[in-house]
Amino acid sequence: MKYTKLIQKFGHDILSSDSIQIEKKAIQHGNISVYDHTIAVARMCLYINDLFHLKLDEETLVRGALLHDFFLYDWHDKESWHRFHGFRHPYFALKNAKKQFPINEKCEDMIVKHMFPLNPFPPKYKESWVLCLADKICASKETIGRA
């Protein structure tokens, strides 16, 4: 409940945006929507922050998690430009996020570097490292069907 309130508090503009409707309809892993995945990742980021007493910026954690997959297309569609989605989608997500929402430098780093080590550039901030971990935990659970 605590994490749900923090996600609403810091992500209300993102969660109420028209663009978020695309995420609700697009599948991310298994049968989990991109929207549900990003909520789970935000929750996991907050949990990791609490578990390890990291005292990170919760607003940035939430906003980065909600926007890390803000690429706004269904990557399962057989479009030629969807090729290499794993490598390219962070840049699409950052471009879309910057057009629609105020984000800080840490949030930008979180979005672009969340696919590390698939993306060879390591995260610069602790918040980015937490997102990398949270995203991989959630994606693994979703992919093997235990979301």
pLDDT at position 81 is: 44
Please state the separation of Cα 92 from the chain's center in Å: 12
Q: Say which residue the tokens 């929750």 belong to.
A: 43
Please list the alpha-helical segments (H only) found in the chain.
Answer: 2-15, 20-25, 34-51, 58-67, 85-100, 105-113, 126-143
pLDDT at position 35 is: 94
Residue 66 identity (one-letter amino acid):
L
In tens digits, the chain (147 residues) has pLDDT values of 899 999 999 999 999 999 988 888 776 666 788 899 999 999 999 999 999 999 999 999 999 999 999 976 665 556 554 455 555 688 889 999 999 999 999 999 999 999 998 888 999 999 999 999 999 999 999 888 754
Contacts of residue 136, defined as CB under 8 A and 6 or more positions apart, other chains included, come to none
The sign of the dihedral angle between the CA atoms of 129, 5, 11, 139 is positive
Predicted structure pTM score: 0.89
pLDDT at position 61 is: 98
